[in-house]
Amino acid sequence: MLNILRKFFDFVGEKNKKKFQVSIVLSIFQALSAAMKIPAIMLVLQAMIEERLTGTVILQALAIMLGGLLVENAVKYKATMLQTEGGYDGAAFKRIEIAEHLRYLPMGYFNQNSLGSITSVTTNTMEHLADIGTRAVMLSTSGLIDTGVILLLVLIYDWRIGLVGILGTALFLIMNAYMQGKSTAAAADKVECDRVLVSQIMEYLQGIAEVKSYNLFGKTTKKLNDAIDRARAAVTAAEVTFMPHITVQNIVCKLTGAAMMLCSVLLFLNGKMELLICIGMSVCAFMIFQSLELAGAFSSLLRMIDFCVDKGQEIMDIPGMDIDGKDITPAHYGIELKDVTFSYEKRKIIDGISLKIPEKTTTAIVGPSGGGKTTLCSLIARFWDLDSGSVTLDGRDVREYSVDSLMKNFSFVFQNVYLFSDTIANNIRFGKENASMDEVILAAKKACCHDFIMELPEGYNTVIGEGGATLSGGEKQRISIARAIMKDSPIIILDEATANVDPENEKELVDAIESLTKEKTIIMIAHRLKTVRSADQIVVVNHGRIEQLGKHEELMQQDGIYRRFVSARELAAGWKLNSNL
């Protein structure tokens, strides 16, 4: 138990750890104040036995009890607030800390770990710590402290009865440790079931369009229902595991209280204990284990806390990518790749590529799907780390830069744009957090999206759905370009930026890209002929290697992938319906 509590306190951070430590100290004073009932009762009993019970004695007893009650409630309030703040603030800031840490992890981590797993840690796991964890810690610690204080008073009055209480408490703790050992598998299964359930819910919701289109309700809902059933079974199994042990713990407490009372009566009858002490010990026997029983019930959740902390710490322990990086501002923005190789899950994606991308030039990357084009751009921006070789910016290896200082030099426009559930203005401000409204509007005008934004119900203050669900593909693309214009980075990476845009929006999108890319180093992945024809150099990538490199005219003179690519595009562009058929 103590190891779990120590791990939990360390996990929530130094500031919140101190709150828990102070609250535990206050809980000792709370328990002492609550125990003032005992001397107050003893005072009245003694006066009754000695036949000198007066109003003064009763007032003295009431003053002791009332003073203890006032101090108890004041201290309890403060201790509870500190523990609640420590638990909820600790979980909240740990969410932020995990999110911040995720920024610096290689993209390979997100490929190996589903969105549902990460979501489960930052939602369910942290919620367990904030809610269940805090209550379990509060009640477990206060229960032990309350019992310990009353045991100390019992020992002061009569060591023999105190020894009975200590033996009963020791047996309780042994049973509690056994229960926590038994709860390990149940807690692990509960955490894993939560992870799977969140993953299945995310998969179902993200794929709802395909589910409807292909009538996959039976198959997909079965997977979701199975995950729900398994989660329900895990919770039931945990309860079934805990309840017998909690019942035994409670029986131990009740029997120990009965044993303390019985021993007190026997000692009195044998003339070895005064009547006052006998009655006082009987009162203590009723009080001593009340808090401990509640602590025992909630301590069954400590193993759950242990697993939740481990899950959160697993993410925090993954090495970030800029541990040794420095904040560097390059003077020039030329990029060079030297013998770059990269594999993903033992499959080689990039195989010995060397390439120079001069500053303020346009490099177009073309080639068959799956050839390594997007991976190559990801390596340039250090979304992944290389297996071997080097990528340099201004003559410095990108691994010498911290992630933040490296990312300042890049803006991205992806084929699949993600917009956050926020106002359009704030989505554009992601490129420059403190941008004024005038700057936002200027960027939007350059990206050719001002007009359609002004037609929305609240203009720039219109809140768009998560992922930009309330906007068309072309509108989302142009907002992402406005965001990139706002960032004004010297290097632009365009990944199939116009691939999914309808012809009506294509001209505006091309105009927006031209505004974005003036006087920049451009790296574009494209399948459309007119977007690559004017590039300073065209790189043909296939099977992770550069098969051709040169300008459009040069590559058209060669019999290779590029010429076949151009021929296929020209043939497709010249295709028309035959009206005579």
Q: With beta carbons less than 8 A apart as the criterion, state whether 206 and 287 touch.
A: no
Element (H, E) at 427: helix 424-429
3-state secondary structure (DSSP) of residue 32: helix
To the question of pTM greater than 0.85 for the whole model, the response is: no
Question: Is residue 506 pLDDT above 70, yes or no?
Answer: no
Q: Is 345 left (phi over 0), alpha (psi -120 to 50) or beta?
A: left
Phi and psi at residue 539, in whole multiples of 5°? -110, 120
Which pLDDT band, with edges at 50, 70 and 90, does 50 fall under? confident
Query: pLDDT tens digit string along 327-337?
Result: 888 998 999 99
**Beta partners for 523?**
363, 493
At residue 340, the pLDDT reads 92
pLDDT digits (tens, 9 = 90+) for 353-363: 999 999 988 89
What letter would DSSP give residue 495?
E
CA gap 227, 506 in Å, rounded:
43
Residue 512, classified by CB atoms within 10 Å of its CB into exposed (0-12), middle (13-18) or buried (19+), is buried
Alpha-helix residue ranges (DSSP H) falling in 270-289: 275-287
- Crossing angle of helices 55-102/14-34, nearest 10°? 160
d(C-alpha 571, C-alpha 568), whole Å: 5
DSSP 464: P
What gap in Å lies between CA 380 and CA 389, rounded to an integer? 12
What confidence tens digit (pLDDT) does each residue in 421-463 have? Answer: 788 898 888 878 888 899 889 888 888 888 888 988 888 898 8
pLDDT of residue 338: 94
Structure tokens at 86: 């420590």
Q: What is the mean pLDDT of residues 167-189?
A: 78
Give the burial class of 91: count Cβ atoms within 10 A of its Cβ; 0-12 exposed, 13-18 middle, 19 or more buried: buried
Other CB atoms within 10 Å distance of the CB of residue 226: 13
Pair 86, 20: CB distance under 8 Å? yes
Mean pLDDT of 522-543: 82
pLDDT of 79 over the 70 cut: yes
Other CB atoms within a 10 A radius of the CB of residue 3 amount to 9
Q: For the CA atoms of the chain, what is the radius of gyration?
A: 35
**Which amino acid makes up residue 514?**
E
Residue 195, Cβ neighbours under 10 Å: how many?
Answer: 22
**Domains of the chain, first to last:** 2-316 (1.20.1560.10), 325-409+490-498+526-576 (3.40.50.300), 414-488 (3.40.50.300)
- In terms of average pLDDT, the best of 282-291, 435-444, 572-581 is 435-444
Kindly give, in sequence order, each residue whose CB lies less than 8 Å from that of residue 245, ignoring residues fewer than 6 positions away.
175, 176, 178, 179, 182, 300
Residue 527 has pLDDT above 70, yes or no: no
